């Protein structure tokens, strides 16, 4: 069934419903009548639209985006050869003319450098993890590592945009927006797509709201940024001096005024507006309740680490992500900045790891103990990898790494992925893929598949063509799916 | 049954009209038209593999030309895809109607399919001779004679065309809108501001026949007209105050924006307006103003990310200009031909790079220097001094004495070669191409036009160019009526929708060109029509027969834009500072939005809010940092200025409700208006009446007034019980407070006013 048709059908249904509403039901009921199905698409209305395309493995996604490109070589892709060959030139047979960024293209030498940090194997699966991530090491049996992600971009902005929207350039909808569009929200009081930001202690590269843009989709699919300030969602707080009863009273008056207007004009959009005000009112209660972390029990606080009580930290965002997801938010997107170690890998990488390791692992354990991990897909990812050779000065105690698009590591947990496995393999130099590459488009296709969506069928016609998250490419990777 | 009708109605808006007329469309119509009925189906389901894109063509068969479709099949010379008059001998019909999925077209794995009604249409078309026609948008428009209709309704030519379709569908036009609502509508449309109470009173009192026309002329002459028109053009030109991309540093393009306002206010003809922007630098002895106008093509994003590959981004900028040119002026999706031949429209990849060649001679670099050191403008640029502002460029609102630098266009003296880029990759050079444009639109003759951007402008504005005038009048129509005569205002190609009123579109386009591309004249023509002046009430019949108001038997109701809501609050409360132009303003914005996402580099790492008058300028002056646009803009469907946008969405969401309820400016406007009214001696009821008039722009009805007065009283009682709450509530905003002792009444009035601001009618063009 074409999406265009679905849209039309939706439109007809909504008009039809509103038409009926105006004819059949008393207008006094308007203020309290809730028809979220028509605006936020609940499960029941989805069935009539033919979505999802097949039984989903996961219902919700939490995407822990490590912004800036954490080095795969200091985290999960263990390459002892680099330590042995430290200081030696990267063989041309390995580099194979790969284009370089403007930051190292002027370097006369490309000396290999191994991880400063030690690696060990963990869990039944024996996954290699560096000493920087002792807590993630404890949950490796829930994780499916992808060692062979690769991308086309070599700079942050286009690479990030590609990871999140499926295109390096252009104003395309973000992954979360596509899922909001395809599946809607499970919770009528919360947006389907929420975004949480945190800053690290390493070299950072910034994020941009275009990364959670709705692109050409309706703005209702825009990612809603939750801030660390008292007002978690923009404009959520009632004005100073006004409380909930006052607001309720105001909305009742407003609804009566709008209803008078509706009687004159007969425009269903007026009623739709009344409903949006009602949903806004419910959000005002639902969001602060949900974002109040102070009532979390001690054992949870311990699990995520004390930082989780400091709003705006990665740890707090992990805990908040769990709560939002548990409440039915379809897609929770975290961005943690500071992973761009062109230099000072030895100084910065441990700080970045310290800020994220514990709470990342806690999120997985927490979801698991609540029985939610099976239906929640947790993704740990980034925009590209880092070079096996040193950028800048190589000393005994420090080094840096440039951007590397040819291979990098991401991992997923829960939600139908093959737990306790590693997919794909890079060469001994950690430079090229030798087995089972996963392109960004393949990754998107697989994630949509886990959510019960066929990436070729989740389309939107815009300016003459059918757009997809995967654009014109992408294959589901069966090896990642349990 | 309803199901089939549903599918069909999506196909084309004309079909919608048709199916309403007949009440049923499963029975196939008597006469099938290629452009109206067949091409939309073939384009959507067949052309991807059997269309213009030679590289993707399957079975060497193309169905978009009669030559291709009628020829013997390459892999089976005995058979033909289409045999006119003989569906049963036409492979096309056999393959779309078969139940054998191994030969069925479109193939099941394409996720495309044809329904029974579509198959029947194609059968009938072949039966009737399978006549092809050129795509409507590529045939130059002609003035059609006015249709014969009941002459009592039309006020100008537009109405004849509109009424004809209405009559055919059994609909009648609405009565004229009442004067108050009409005035609000036309004032919002032409100036973006609600009418002043003085104007309201004057218009209501003026019983002369041309009272409305006088108002229209007056509004068109106001400088606020240029501001209103500039908003749409800023979307088209992807105007912003920062470079976009990662570090997203400051840029100074606002003098270009000031020029746009000036050009609209001076009523520059569209051909001049466009020529200056595309090629002002190539005119003989270009003036500074003409150079400034070319900033249009430098408004694209520019990267400052260390380590990018220069050429990759330089190509990106030329690509952006090429795509913007096609979308803004031709309403074609050239960008599809960036990597391969266009799959639906006759634009080859070679055509794309020939167009690209016009924009490929700018002496520029891909990487704008280090953000910490870089100037605000990237070469080529011009410097505008205070002296010039005083004497020549008087429309630029520059207050300080330092010259301002603006990016402009320039061609290098040497001709940088342009290559077809294989799969669109910047470093995959294919053949070298010279400037040119798609033949299907209008052949480009370089001996007649020349070979630079000025030639491009000449081609664009040539009287035989079938698109330029249509595209612009359609967008102006869209600005007023919410939906273009061609709904897909950015795509006039095969995949776009057909015009709902093709003859009207053509009539307006030709009339516009023949009358010197006169934009104010066009705007006046539109608002003087009876179509425009109808009331916007919706009857049950209208809602059933024409829910989307394609036939315009009523005036549309459209929510105000992001800028419109802000301007309404400012103007009605008296806060508005009517200064025109100048650097963009950093208005109220929730804390930490820039800071939480910045790379930390450059002057835009932190948001430093402005104060005083700068807080009360119109919405178009709000500072746009491209990677983090003002949140209110995004919530209210504003463009993020990432790329050329010709149409904004209009959604209705809870976040919009929160914005209108809690945004500081909305509260401040309520407070300031309440204070102003409290200073007067009028009764409470009169105060409410006045606020209603200022915001909703009409007198309140007794029901509304009694409801609001009762609400006022109950709120006053509440505040009396907790006067400290009143004090907190009325603190809203930085605007200096009036000395008003009765803070309880003030707070209650402010609450009532805030309620009025949130009424659907307040923020809707009705």
- In DSSP notation, A158-220 reads HHHHHHHHS-SSS-PPPHHHHHHHHH--S-TTS-SEEEEEE--SS------GGGG--TTS-GG
Q: How many domains does chain B have?
A: 4
CB contact under 8 A, B540 and A246: no
Nearest by CB to residue B663, choosing from A222, A227, A235, is A235
Categorize the per-residue pLDDT at B16 as very low, low, confident or very high, splitting at 50, 70 and 90: very low
In chain A, which residue's Cα lies nearest the Cα of B43? A464
Nearest by CB to residue A204, choosing from B491, B600, B667, is B600
Residues of chain A found within 8 Å of residue B640, distances taken between Cβ atoms: 171, 209-210, 213
Interchain CB contact of B4 with A (< 8 Å): no
Is residue B151 over pLDDT 70?
yes
CB contact under 8 A, B596 and A228: yes
Q: Is A19 among the domain residues?
A: no
* Best residue of B657, B669, B704 to probe chain A, by most A CBs closer than 10 Å: B657
Categorize the per-residue pLDDT at A101 as very low, low, confident or very high, splitting at 50, 70 and 90: confident
Q: What is the pLDDT of residue A206?
A: 79
* DSSP 3-state of B618: coil
Find the domain containing B429 and state its range.
Answer: 241-460
Q: What is the pLDDT of residue B374?
A: 66
Put simply, the chain B residues between 326 and 385 with a CB less than 8 A from any chain A CB are 327, 333, 336, 343-345, 367
Interchain CB contact of B738 with A (< 8 Å): no
Q: What is the pLDDT of residue B54?
A: 86
Put simply, the chain B residues between 502 and 531 with a CB less than 8 A from any chain A CB are none
Q: What is the pLDDT of residue A99?
A: 83
Is residue B583 over pLDDT 50?
yes
CB contact under 8 A, A12 and B494: no
Is residue B397 over pLDDT 90?
yes
Three-class secondary structure assignment of B670-713: HHHHHHHHHHCCCCHHHHHHHHHHHHHCCCCCHHHHHHHHHHHH
Q: Is B193 among the domain residues?
A: no
Q: What is the pLDDT of residue A46?
A: 45
How much is the ipTM here?
A: 0.90
* Best residue of A242, A333, A341 to probe chain B, by most B CBs closer than 10 Å: A242
How far is Cα B236 from Cα A97, in angstroms, rounded to an integer? 40
Pair (B386, B487) in one structural domain: no
Task: Tell me the pLDDT tens digit for each residue of B499-538.
Answer: 999 999 999 999 999 999 999 999 999 999 999 999 999 9
**Which of B544, B573, B603 is at the close of a domain?**
B544
How far is Cα B526 from Cα B481, in angstroms, rounded to an integer? 10
Q: Is A278 among the domain residues?
A: no
How far is Cα A16 from Cα A9, in angstroms, rounded to an integer? 10
What mean pLDDT, rounded, does chain B reach? 92
| For range A345-374, the mean pLDDT | 97
Pair (B455, B471) in one structural domain: no
| β-strand partners of A129 | A120
Phi/psi for A376 (5° steps) reads -115, 125
Pair (B495, B378) in one structural domain: no
Task: Tell me the pLDDT tens digit for each residue of B59-78.
Answer: 899 999 999 999 888 888 88
Q: What is the pLDDT of residue B240?
A: 98
Q: What is the pLDDT of residue B650?
A: 85
Interchain CB contact of A285 with B (< 8 Å): no
Pair (B422, B328) in one structural domain: yes
According to DSSP, residue A415 is labeled T
| For range A176-181, the mean pLDDT | 94
Q: Is B180 among the domain residues?
A: no
In which residue are the tokens 């006045």 written? Answer: B690
Q: What is the pLDDT of residue B368?
A: 77
CB contact under 8 A, B634 and A209: yes
Q: How many domains does chain A have?
A: 1
**Which of B520, B544, B568 is at the close of a domain?**
B544
Is residue A105 over pLDDT 90?
no
- CATH number of the CATH domain containing A388: 3.40.720.10
Nearest by CB to residue A102, choosing from B307, B540, B653, is B307
Q: Is B275 among the domain residues?
A: yes
CB contact under 8 A, A209 and B629: yes
Task: Tell me the pLDDT tens digit for each residue of A3-24.
Answer: 443 443 344 344 333 333 333 2
Pair (B528, B505) in one structural domain: yes
As a whole number of Å, the end-to-end CA separation of chain A is: 28
Q: What is the pLDDT of residue B495?
A: 87
Residues of chain B found within 8 Å of residue A229, distances taken between Cβ atoms: 590-592
As a whole number of Å, the end-to-end CA separation of chain B is: 35
User: Which residue spans within A36-174 are E strands per DSSP?
Assistant: 60-66, 119-122, 127-130, 143-150
Long-range contacts, stretch B678-685, CB < 8 angstroms, 24+ apart: B678/B738, B678/B740, B678/B742, B678/B745, B678/B746, B678/B749, B679/B738, B679/B740, B684/B709, B684/B712, B684/B745, B684/B749, B685/B709
| For range B112-139, the mean pLDDT | 92
How far is Cα B648 from Cα B651, in angstroms, rounded to an integer? 10
Phi-psi map region of B397: left, alpha, beta (phi>0 left; psi -120 to 50 alpha):
beta
Is residue A474 over pLDDT 50?
yes
In chain B, which residue's Cα lies nearest the Cα of A269? B652
Q: Is B712 among the domain residues?
A: yes
Task: Tell me the pLDDT tens digit for each residue of A195-227.
Answer: 999 999 998 887 888 899 888 888 888 899 888
Q: Is A72 among the domain residues?
A: yes
Pair (B426, B514) in one structural domain: no
Residues of chain B found within 8 Å of residue A102, distances taken between Cβ atoms: 306-310, 367
A425-434, B325-334, B597-606: least confidently modelled range: B597-606
| For range B406-423, the mean pLDDT | 94
Pair (B246, B375) in one structural domain: yes
User: Which residue spans within B111-215 are E strands per DSSP?
Assistant: none
Pair (B413, B473) in one structural domain: no
CB contact under 8 A, B701 and A260: yes
Q: What is the pLDDT of residue B404?
A: 95
Q: What is the pLDDT of residue B599?
A: 83
CB contact under 8 A, A238 and B245: no
Q: What is the pLDDT of residue B32?
A: 86
Residues 6+ apart with CB under 8 A from B414: none
Task: Tell me the pLDDT tens digit for each residue of A360-415.
Answer: 999 999 999 999 999 999 999 999 999 999 998 899 899 999 999 999 999 999 99
Pair (B377, B484) in one structural domain: no
Find the domain containing A325 and state its range.
Answer: 49-245+292-480
Task: Tell me the pLDDT tens digit for each residue of A134-153.
Answer: 999 999 999 999 999 999 99
Nearest by CB to residue B662, choosing from A8, A191, A239, is A239
Q: Is A11 among the domain residues?
A: no
Put simply, the chain A residues between 34 and 53 with a CB less than 8 A from any chain B CB are none
| For range B589-604, the mean pLDDT | 88
Q: What is the pLDDT of residue A18?
A: 38
* DSSP 3-state of A113: coil
| For range B651-677, the mean pLDDT | 96
Pair (B300, B448) in one structural domain: yes
Interchain CB contact of B246 with A (< 8 Å): yes
Separation in Å, CA of A134 to nearest CA in chain B: 28
Supply B742's token pair.
């009765």
Task: Tell me the pLDDT tens digit for each residue of A284-342.
Answer: 999 999 999 888 999 999 999 999 999 899 999 999 999 999 999 999 999 999 999 99
Higher pLDDT, A127 or A232: A127
Separation in Å, CA of A132 to nearest CA in chain B: 25
Q: How many CA atoms lie within 13 Å of B681's alpha carbon, on the beta-carbon side?
A: 0
| For range B668-674, the mean pLDDT | 98
Percentage of chain B lying above the pLDDT 90 cut? 82
Alpha helices, DSSP H, located in B349-465: 349-358, 386-391, 446-449, 453-460
Is residue B545 over pLDDT 70?
yes
Pair (B386, B245) in one structural domain: yes
Categorize the per-residue pLDDT at B28 as very low, low, confident or very high, splitting at 50, 70 and 90: low
Residues of chain A found within 8 Å of residue B537, distances taken between Cβ atoms: 264-266
Categorize the per-residue pLDDT at B17 as very low, low, confident or very high, splitting at 50, 70 and 90: very low
Task: Tell me the pLDDT tens digit for each residue of B265-307.
Answer: 999 999 999 999 999 999 999 999 999 999 999 999 999 888 8
Pair (B731, B668) in one structural domain: yes
Task: Tell me the pLDDT tens digit for each residue of B200-256.
Answer: 999 999 999 999 999 999 999 999 999 999 999 999 999 999 999 888 999 999 999
Q: What pTM was estimated for this model as a whole?
A: 0.87
Interchain CB contact of A125 with B (< 8 Å): no
Phi-psi map region of B60: left, alpha, beta (phi>0 left; psi -120 to 50 alpha):
left
Nearest by CB to residue A464, choosing from B333, B652, B654, is B333
The alpha carbon of residue B221 and the mean position of all alpha carbons in its chain are separated, in whole angstroms, by 23
């Amino acid at each position: 069934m074409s999406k265009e048709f679905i849209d039309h059908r939706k439109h007809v249904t909504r008009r039809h419903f509103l038409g009926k509403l105006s004819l059949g039901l008393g207008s006094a009921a308007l203020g309290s009548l809730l028809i979220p199905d028509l605006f936020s698409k609940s499960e029941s209305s989805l069935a009539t639209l033919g979505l999802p395309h097949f039984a989903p493995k996961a219902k919700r996604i939490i995407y822990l985006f490590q912004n800036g490109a954490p080095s795969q070589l200091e985290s999960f892709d263990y390459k002892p050869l680099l330590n042995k060959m430290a200081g030696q030139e990267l063989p041309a047979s390995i580099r194979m003319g790969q284009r370089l960024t403007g930051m190292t293209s002027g370097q006369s030498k490309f000396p290999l450098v191994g991880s400063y940090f030690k690696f060990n194997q963990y869990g039944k699966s024996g996954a290699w993890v560096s000493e920087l991530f002792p807590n993630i090491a404890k949950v490796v049996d829930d994780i499916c590592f992808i060692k062979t992600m690769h991308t086309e971009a070599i700079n942050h902005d286009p690479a990030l945009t590609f990871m999140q929207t499926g295109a390096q350039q252009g104003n395309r909808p973000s992954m979360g927006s596509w899922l909001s569009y395809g599946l809607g929200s499970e919770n009528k009081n919360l947006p389907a797509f929420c975004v949480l930001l945190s800053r690290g202690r390493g070299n950072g590269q910034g994020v941009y709201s275009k990364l959670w843009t709705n692109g050409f989709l309706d703005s209702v699919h825009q990612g809603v940024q939750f801030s660390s300030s008292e007002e978690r969602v923009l404009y959520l707080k009632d004005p100073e001096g006004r409380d909930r009863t006052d607001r309720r009273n105001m909305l009742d008056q407003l609804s009566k005024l709008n209803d008078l207007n509706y009687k004159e004009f007969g425009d269903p959009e007026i009623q739709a507006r009344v409903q949006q005000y009602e949903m806004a009112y419910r959000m005002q209660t639902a969001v602060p309740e949900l974002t109040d972390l102070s009532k979390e029990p001690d054992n949870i606080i311990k699990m995520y680490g004390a930082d989780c009580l400091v709003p705006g930290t990665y740890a707090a965002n992990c805990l908040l992500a769990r709560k939002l997801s548990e409440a039915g938010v379809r897609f929770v997107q975290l961005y943690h900045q500071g992973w761009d170690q062109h230099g000072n890998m030895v100084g910065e990488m441990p700080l970045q790891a310290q800020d994220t390791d514990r709470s990342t692992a806690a999120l997985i354990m927490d979801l698991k103990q609540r029985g939610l991990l099976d239906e929640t897909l947790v993704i740990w990812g980034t925009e590209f990898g880092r070079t096996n050779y040193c950028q800048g000065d190589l000393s005994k105690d420090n080094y840096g790494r440039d951007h590397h698009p040819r291979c990098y590591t991401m991992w997923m947990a829960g939600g139908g992925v093959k737990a306790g496995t590693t997919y794909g393999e890079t060469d001994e130099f950690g430079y090229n893929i030798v087995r089972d590459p996963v392109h960004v488009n393949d990754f998107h296709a697989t994630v949509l598949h886990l959510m019960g969506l066929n990436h070729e069928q989740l389309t939107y016609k815009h300016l003459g063509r059918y757009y997809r998250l995967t654009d014109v490419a992408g294959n589901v990777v069966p090896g990642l799916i349990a | 049954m309803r199901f089939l009708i549903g599918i069909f109605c999506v196909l084309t808006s004309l079909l919608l009209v048709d199916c309403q007329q007949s009440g049923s469309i499963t029975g196939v119509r008597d006469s099938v038209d290629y452009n109206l009925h067949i091409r939309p189906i073939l384009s959507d389901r067949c052309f991807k593999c059997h269309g213009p894109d030679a590289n993707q063509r399957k079975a060497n068969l193309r169905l978009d030309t009669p030559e291709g479709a009628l020829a013997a099949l390459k892999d089976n010379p005995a058979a033909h895809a289409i045999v006119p008059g003989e569906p049963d001998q036409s492979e096309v019909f056999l393959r779309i109607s078969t139940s054998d999925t191994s030969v069925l077209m479109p193939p099941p794995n394409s996720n495309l399919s044809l329904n029974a009604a579509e198959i029947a249409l194609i059968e009938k078309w072949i039966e009737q001779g399978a006549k092809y026609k050129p795509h409507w948008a590529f045939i130059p428009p002609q003035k059609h004679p006015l249709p014969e209709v009941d002459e009592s309704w039309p006020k100008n030519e537009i109405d004849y065309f509109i009424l004809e379709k209405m009559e055919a569908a059994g609909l009648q036009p609405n009565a004229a809108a009442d004067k108050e609502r009409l005035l609000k509508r036309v004032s919002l449309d032409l100036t973006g501001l609600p009418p002043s109470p003085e104007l309201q009173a004057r218009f209501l009192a003026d019983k002369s026949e041309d009272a409305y026309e006088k108002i229209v002329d007056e509004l068109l002459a106001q400088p606020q007209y240029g501001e209103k028109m500039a908003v749409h053009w800023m979307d088209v030109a992807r105007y912003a105050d920062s470079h976009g991309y990662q570090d997203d540093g400051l840029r100074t393009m606002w003098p270009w924006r000031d020029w746009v306002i000036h050009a609209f206010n001076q009523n520059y003809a569209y051909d001049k307006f466009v020529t200056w922007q595309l090629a002002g630098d190539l005119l003989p002895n270009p003036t500074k103003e003409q150079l400034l106008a070319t900033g249009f093509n430098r408004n694209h994003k520019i990267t400052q990310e260390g380590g990018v590959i220069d050429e990759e981004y330089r190509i990106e900028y030329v690509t952006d200009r090429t795509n913007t040119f096609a979308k803004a002026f031709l309403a074609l999706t050239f960008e599809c031909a960036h990597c391969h031949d266009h799959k639906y429209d006759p634009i080859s990849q070679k055509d794309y790079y020939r167009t690209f060649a016009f924009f490929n001679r700018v002496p520029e670099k891909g990487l704008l220097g280090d953000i910490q050191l870089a100037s605000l403008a990237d070469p080529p640029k011009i410097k505008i001094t205070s002296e010039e502002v005083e004497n020549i460029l008087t429309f630029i609102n520059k207050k300080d004495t330092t010259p301002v630098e603006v990016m402009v266009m320039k061609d290098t003296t040497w001709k940088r070669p342009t290559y077809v880029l294989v799969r669109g990759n910047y470093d995959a050079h294919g053949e070298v191409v010279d400037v040119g444009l798609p033949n299907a639109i209008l052949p480009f003759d370089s001996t007649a036009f020349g070979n630079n951007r000025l030639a491009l402008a000449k081609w664009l504005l040539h009287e035989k160019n079938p698109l330029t005038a249509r595209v612009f009048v359609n967008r102006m129509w869209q600005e007023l009526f919410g939906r273009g005569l061609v709904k897909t205002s950015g795509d006039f190609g095969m995949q776009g929708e057909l015009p709902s009123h093709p003859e009207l579109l053509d009539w307006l386009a030709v009339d516009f060109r023949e009358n010197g591309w006169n934009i104010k004249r066009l705007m006046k023509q539109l608002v003087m029509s009876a179509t425009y002046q109808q009331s916007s009430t919706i009857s049950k019949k209208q809602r059933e027969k024409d829910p989307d108001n394609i036939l315009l038997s009523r005036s549309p109701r459209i929510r105000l834009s992001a800028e419109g809501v802000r301007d309404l609050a400012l103007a009605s409360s008296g806060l508005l500072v009517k200064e025109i132009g100048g650097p963009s303003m950093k208005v109220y914005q929730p804390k930490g939005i820039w800071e939480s996402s910045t790379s930390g580099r450059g002057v835009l790492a932190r948001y430093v809010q402005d104060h005083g008058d700068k807080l009360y300028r119109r919405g178009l002056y709000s500072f746009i940092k491209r990677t983090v646009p003002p949140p209110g803009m995004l919530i209210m469907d504003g463009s993020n200025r990432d790329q050329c946008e010709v149409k904004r969405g209009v959604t209705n969401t809870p976040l919009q409700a929160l914005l209108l309820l809690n945004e500081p400016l909305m509260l401040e406007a309520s407070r300031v208006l309440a204070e102003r009214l409290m200073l007067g001696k009028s009764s409470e009821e009169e105060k409410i009446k006045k606020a209603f008039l200022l915001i909703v722009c009409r007198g309140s009805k007794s029901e509304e007034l009694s409801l609001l007065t009762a609400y006022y009283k109950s709120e006053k009682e509440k505040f009396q019980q907790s006067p400290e709450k009143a004090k907190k509530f009325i603190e809203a905003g930085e605007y200096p407070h009036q000395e008003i002792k009765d803070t309880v009444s003030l707070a209650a009035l402010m609450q009532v006013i805030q309620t009025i601001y949130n009424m659907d009618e307040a923020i809707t063009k009705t």
